[in-house]
Amino acid sequence: MRRIWIVILSVVLTGLFFGSAERAVDKIQEARIAETAREMVVDNEWLVPHYNGELRLQKPPLTYWTTAASYKVFGVSEMSARIPSALFGLLTMALLLVWIKREVNLSAAANVVLVLATSFLGMRYLRSGEADVTLMFFISLACYAGFQLFESSSKRQVWLLMLALGLGFFTKGPAAIAIPLLTMVGYAYSAKQLQVLKAMANPVGLGIFIFSAFAWYAWILLMMPDVAQGFFSKQVDETFISGTHQQPVYWYLAHALEFFLPWSFLLIPAGIWCYKHRPLPKIIHFSIIWLTVVFVLLTFTVNKQTQYALLFLPPIAILVAYYLEVAIDKYYQYNRIIFWLLCVAALGVIVVATRKHGFSEVFALPGAWAWLLMLTLPLLLKKVLNVTALKTAVLIAAMLATFCYLFAEQYLTKDTEKDDIRVLMQSAANKSELYQAMPGNGSVSFYAGRAIKPLDGKKLQQMLTSQSELWLVSEDKHQPKLSNVQLHEEVSAGHWILWKLTPLP
């Protein structure tokens, strides 16, 4: 077990951390968490989150707390903001490794970890400081405890289930409760074990759930009832009623191929295999129901975003991993074709990058050694440690998937504009009366090292009646419309601009 974990980590840790420290905090979801956690640490105010200097109660604070804890240990930085996602990703992998080893075998368990860690969504969000990987872990933990409950009906499993449900809710809301419970109900019905569900009525377990999920909410409502109710109701409206990211019902199906690359090419043959080889192992039966529940809930939820699709990943990883372990005959031949095409894709990425940037830049030392190690170290460790339970073809596919993602991120899809706000805020470091245009962006405050409040044009004009000048950071699309105010462009970086505002004489 230890040796196979070493080989797996040689792939996984590369995917989690390679180049992560150099990427700027740019995405709005990541910036919100990074800046809210930074203000927690600086202000030493952990119970009441603030973002850009303003109260933020729309989301539960668990992810803010884990990120703030990372800052306390490692200091405030881009890497520190992303460490919690990496750690919860590793915990999810360890959980699935133990679970699938117990229910199938060690080889299938290794497959699960590699599929989860090297799929497109896994590579994207396990390297990003957002809340969705933490949510994925607690949903996976709740599903694990729920599955074990059908095997043993132990009180400890009930307590673990309730703790996972509570902390999942405390991470990002109701999905953490709905997905595991509906999966358990579906499995109990299909396996004719509905009586097992009665075990969840355990008083200690219910107490654990209520405390872990709602203690902070109760405290906030007690301390600031009027303000809190407004924030909470707004979040419910945006999530379930009005929606701020509405997409067609078929949106997740339309993007399934890209979301789970390269393993998405195996989804249809894996489904056909499972259908033709019933009855299936209990864990595969459970995972199919789990995947179905996620699909139905996310499809009919008003908001649809790429990061939500991360919740598909654990059951998909289990199904694909099982298929890779048991596939024979024409299925095995199909898998080989897919793996060879992945080799061609990796070569294509290298060729395109070389044509775009030149051979000397792409393969300049010492960077070239990093890419070479990425493609050889796992195979070398597998040989030296004599890890026979890990299929060589699956390991190579995982290595190539990691290489393609990181190589493309470095040379093909790297967006230099993501560094613009970091560059601009270096120029604004000594500006005391500094604000940002509405609606505000956490990256501005994060790179300023202090809370930069967002203001609309009306408020700015009022402030200029008593001050001779102000400084304003804005994006092109959020440039304020002001009257009786002179705007002097001081510094620009891409689509970000630092303005000097003075009243008209």
pLDDT in tens, 448-467: 999 999 988 888 888 888 88
Q: Cα 192 from chain centroid?
A: 35
Q: Please name the residues in contact with 459: beta carbons below 8 A apart, sequence gap of 6 or more.
A: none
DSSP code string of 44-110 = T--SS-EETTEE--SS-SHHHHHHHHHHHHH-SSHHHHHHHHHHHHHHHHHHHHHHHHHHT-HHHHH
Is the pLDDT reported for residue 82 higher than 90? yes
Is the pLDDT reported for residue 245 higher than 90? no
The enclosing H or E element of 487 equals: strand 485-493
Interval 134-156: pLDDT, tens: 999 999 999 999 999 998 878 89
Contact between residue 435 and residue 464 where contact means Cβ atoms under 8 Å apart: no
Q: Environment class of residue 99 by beta-carbon count within 10 Å: exposed (0-12), middle (13-18) or buried (19+)?
A: buried
Q: Radius of gyration of the chain from Cα atoms?
A: 25
Domain residue spans in the chain? 2-329, 330-415, 419-503
pLDDT in the model for residue 452? 92
Contact between residue 135 and residue 311 where contact means Cβ atoms under 8 Å apart: yes
**For residue 469, what are its two tokens?**
């000048």
Measured at the CA of 464, the angle between CA 460 and CA 467, to 5 degrees, comes to 130
Is the pLDDT reported for residue 430 higher than 90? no
Is the pLDDT reported for residue 105 higher than 90? yes
Q: Identify the band that residue 433 occupies on the pLDDT scale cut at 50, 70 and 90.
A: confident
Expressed in percent and rounded to 5, the helix, strand and coil fractions of the chain are 70, 5, 25
pLDDT in the model for residue 182? 97
pLDDT in the model for residue 81? 96
Mean pLDDT, rounded, for 283-308 = 93
Interval 363-372: pLDDT, tens: 886 778 889 9
Is the pLDDT reported for residue 353 higher than 60? yes
- How many beta carbons lie within 10 A of that of residue 93, not counting itself? 26
Query: In this prediction, what percent of the chain has a pLDDT beyond 90?
Result: 65
pLDDT in the model for residue 236? 62
